[in-house]
């Protein structure tokens, strides 16, 4: 009888201990889950909320700036190009007068035949410089706007979803009923990493927007000074300016398609 009573006491003790452990573990797990959700709310919903809204605004501005395609009809281009075209034509007439006088006086220093051919070509390029540059810009814009349209479609769900941050910031619970522990450190690292990614994305989007905006202004100036650039190509002393003009035009034509492609590639890989 004493042995049976001892066995019953042991079983009763085990049952009480098990119930006690469950009573301690379950509230601990629930409290831990609430604490992880609280950390997520503090870091992402409170601290990072203004930066997320600013990032969404920057993305909208980026799409609008990158989609700009009215270079030919910009007022600064229309007025500036026409003014410098007329000025270049005046220089053209002046140079023709100099060649005519040198021909009458038989100045050997001026090779009027070679200069006349170059001047006729220059006159054509001066008056069609806007058309030539706009054609090159349109070719660059076709490629740019193709990738920007694809990026715009991806960003309809929001920049956070497009970057995949909505999937990595969900709390990851590692629960052990024996110790009732939750991986607080792991979730904290995830939330801090997501916050850093948001700040980096904000910086990158801002820089890309600035590059597109500066490109628009640069192409305006390139169009305005196109007549003078072709005029400078006729003289050895000023040909260096003509070469710099072409180099600047080429760099501004290639930077937009390259950036648009990289944006599309990033979002495509994340998706």
Per-residue pLDDT tens for 11-46?
Answer: 445 444 444 433 443 344 344 445 656 666 666 667
Chain centre distance of CA 185: 33
Alpha helix locations (H) across 47-183? 49-66, 75-104, 112-127, 129-154, 159-162, 165-168
pLDDT band at 137 (very low <50, low <70, confident <90, very high): very high
pLDDT band at 216 (very low <50, low <70, confident <90, very high): very high
Inform me whether the pLDDT recorded for 63 exceeds 60. yes
CA atoms within 13 A on the CB side of 90: 6
Q: How far is CA 109 from CA 93, 103, 195, 231, in A?
A: 19, 10, 71, 20
pLDDT band at 132 (very low <50, low <70, confident <90, very high): very high
Instruction: Give the mean model confidence (pLDDT) for residues 64-69.
Output: 91
Task: Determine the Cα angle at 148 with ends 144 and 153, to 5°.
Answer: 155
Phi, psi of 58 (to 5 degrees): -65, -35
Of 131-140, 154-163, 257-266, the range with the highest mean pLDDT is 131-140
Distance, in Å, from the CA atom of 135 to the CA atom of 128, rounded to the nearest integer, reads 11
Inform me whether the pLDDT recorded for 162 exceeds 90. no
Task: Determine the Cα angle at 26 with ends 22 and 27, to 5°.
Answer: 125
Q: Residue 166: what pLDDT?
A: 60
Inform me whether the pLDDT recorded for 241 exceeds 70. yes
Of 37-46, 155-164, 212-221, the range with the highest mean pLDDT is 212-221
Does this model's pTM top 0.85? My answer is no
Find out whether 210 and 250 touch, Cβ atoms under 8 Å.
no
Chain centre distance of CA 198: 14
Inform me whether the pLDDT recorded for 264 exceeds 80. yes
Higher pLDDT, 258 or 233: 258
Instruction: Give the mean model confidence (pLDDT) for residues 212-222.
Output: 95
Distance, in Å, from the CA atom of 13 to the CA atom of 178, rounded to the nearest integer, reads 18
Distance, in Å, from the CA atom of 209 to the CA atom of 65, rounded to the nearest integer, reads 7
Return left, alpha or beta for 159; rule: phi > 0 is left, psi -120 to 50 is alpha, else beta: alpha
pLDDT tens-digit map of 67-105: 999 998 899 999 999 999 989 888 877 877 777 776 676
Distance, in Å, from the CA atom of 69 to the CA atom of 132, rounded to the nearest integer, reads 16
Task: Look over the chain and give the mean of its residue pLDDT values, rounded to a whole number.
Answer: 75
Find out whether 52 and 194 touch, Cβ atoms under 8 Å.
no
Higher pLDDT, 188 or 176: 188
């Amino acid at each position: 009888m004493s042995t049976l009573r001892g066995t019953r006491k042991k079983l009763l003790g085990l049952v009480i201990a098990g119930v006690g452990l469950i009573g301690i573990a379950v509230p601990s797990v629930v409290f831990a889950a609430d604490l992880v959700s609280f950390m997520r709310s503090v870091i992402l919903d409170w601290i990072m909320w203004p930066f997320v809204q600013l990032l969404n605004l920057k993305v909208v501005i980026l799409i609008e700036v990158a989609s700009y395609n009215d270079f030919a009809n910009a007022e600064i281009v229309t007025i500036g190009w026409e003014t410098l075209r007329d000025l270049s034509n005046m220089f053209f007439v002046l140079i023709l007068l100099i060649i005519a006088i040198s021909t009458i006086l038989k100045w050997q220093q001026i090779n009027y035949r070679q200069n006349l051919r170059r001047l006729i070509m220059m006159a054509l390029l001066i008056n069609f410089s806007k058309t030539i540059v706009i054609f090159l810009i349109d070719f660059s814009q076709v490629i740019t706007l193709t990738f920007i349209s694809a990026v715009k479609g991806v960003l309809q769900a929001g920049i956070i979803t497009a970057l995949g941050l909505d999937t990595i910031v969900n709390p990851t619970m590692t629960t052990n009923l024996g110790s009732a522990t939750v991986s607080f450190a792991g979730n904290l690292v995830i939330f801090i990493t997501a916050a850093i990614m948001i700040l980096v994305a904000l910086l990158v989007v801002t820089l890309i927007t600035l590059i597109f905006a500066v490109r628009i202004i640069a192409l305006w100036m390139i169009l305005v000074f196109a007549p003078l650039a072709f005029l400078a190509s006729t003289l050895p002393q000023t040909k260096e300016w003509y070469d710099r003009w072409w180099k600047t035009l080429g760099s501004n034509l290639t930077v937009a398609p390259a950036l648009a492609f990289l944006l599309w590639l990033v979002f495509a890989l994340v998706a």
